[in-house]
């Protein structure tokens, strides 16, 4: 149940507030090795080359904190979470995309992926989070880094992120390819791919 009228207003249609904070993901929780971890940036980069950020290099990027509600397409919402890490804007400035990049594929360990429109990725609320509520992410929440895109359904908030691919043409990620909506705006209840309007996604 919403605890305050404010929370009620922040709940997108069809969502509910569960007890506790569920953990949801497909597959195993990967382990983190700081010495070999690197974030790969590939596809249509401005330089035309792929880039790698080591754990130390990633740690030198600017940081910010975002207050967000997280909405799972299975209808629970986790309200009032605080994510700290590298904002997408700082990431894009450090490793810029080529002109004409309109989409981003966010890749995790084990091949999980989610595509996000650049207009959704490049927002002040999108963050490469290393902390939840002031504490390092736990392994099951995405340690060491998770991309949080709070204004879209949470399957787009990729845990254990390992690569960012810049796309000039849209391509469906893991769940988008399995019947889920390409855009995934919870306020418009864009849950399933059959709801897509022309232009909202590739086939
Ligand atoms: N790498 C990865 N990230 C993922 C998933 C996944 O299966 N793999 N599941 C997504 C889904 S469907 C949801 S609802 C959220 C759940 O986040 P939580 O476990 O912190 O509640 O993680 C998202 N990020
Ligand atoms: Mo989800």
Ligand 1 lined by 141 (C-beta under 6 Å)? yes
What DSSP line would sit under 133-169, residue for residue?
TTEEPPGGGTTT-EEE-TTS-GGGS-SSEEEEEEESS
- Pocket test residue of 159, 175, 184 for ligand 1, highest count of atoms within 8 A of CB: 159
**How far apart are the C-alpha atoms of 40 and 13, rounded to whole Å?**
36
**How far apart are the C-alpha atoms of 147 and 105, rounded to whole Å?**
11
What DSSP line would sit under 21-62, residue for residue?
-----SSPPPP--TTT-EEEEEESBTTSS-EEEEHHHHHTS-
Q: Which whole-number Å values give the CA distances from 120 to 10, 60, 124, 150, 203, in the listed order?
A: 19, 24, 10, 10, 20
**How far apart are the C-alpha atoms of 112 and 177, rounded to whole Å?**
11
Nearby residues for ligand 2 (ion, Cβ within 5 Å): 24, 72, 154-155
Per-residue pLDDT of the chain (203 residues; tens, 9 = 90+): 777 889 989 999 999 999 999 999 999 999 999 999 999 999 999 999 999 999 999 999 999 999 999 999 999 999 999 999 999 999 999 999 999 999 999 999 999 999 999 999 999 999 999 999 999 999 999 999 999 999 999 999 999 999 999 999 999 999 999 999 999 999 999 999 999 999 999 98
* Distance in Å from the first CA to the final CA of the chain: 38
Name beta bridge partners: 131.
Answer: 84, 136
Ligand 1 atom 18: residue of nearest CA: 23
Expressed in angstroms and rounded, the spacing between residue 194 Cα and the centre of ligand 1 is 22
The model's pTM is 0.97
**C-alpha closest to that of 90 among 63, 66, 117:** 63
Structure tokens at 43: 């596809």
In order of their start, the domains of the chain are 34-195 (3.90.420.10)
């Amino acid at each position: 149940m919403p605890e305050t009228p404010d929370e009620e207003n922040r709940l997108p249609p069809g969502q509910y507030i569960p007890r506790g904070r569920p953990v949801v993901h497909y597959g195993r929780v990967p382990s983190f090795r700081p010495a070999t971890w690197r974030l790969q940036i590939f596809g249509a980069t401005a330089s035309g080359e792929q880039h790698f950020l080591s754990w130390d290099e990633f740690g030198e990027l600017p940081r910010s904190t975002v207050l967000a509600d997280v909405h799972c397409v299975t209808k629970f919402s986790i309200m009032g979470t605080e994510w700290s890490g590298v904002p997408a804007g700082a990431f894009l400035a450090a490793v810029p995309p080529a002109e004409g990049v309109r989409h981003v594929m966010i890749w995790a360990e084990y091949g999980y992926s989610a595509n996000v429109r650049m207009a959704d990725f490049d927002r002040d609320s999108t963050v490469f989070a290393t902390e939840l509520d002031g504490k390092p992410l736990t392994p099951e929440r995405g340690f060491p880094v998770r991309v949080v895109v709070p204004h879209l359904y949470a399957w787009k908030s990729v845990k254990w992120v390992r690569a960012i691919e810049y796309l000039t043409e849209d391509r469906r990620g893991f769940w988008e390819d399995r019947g889920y909506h390409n855009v995934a705006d919870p306020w418009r209840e864009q849950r399933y791919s059959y709801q897509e309007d022309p232009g909202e996604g590739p086939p």
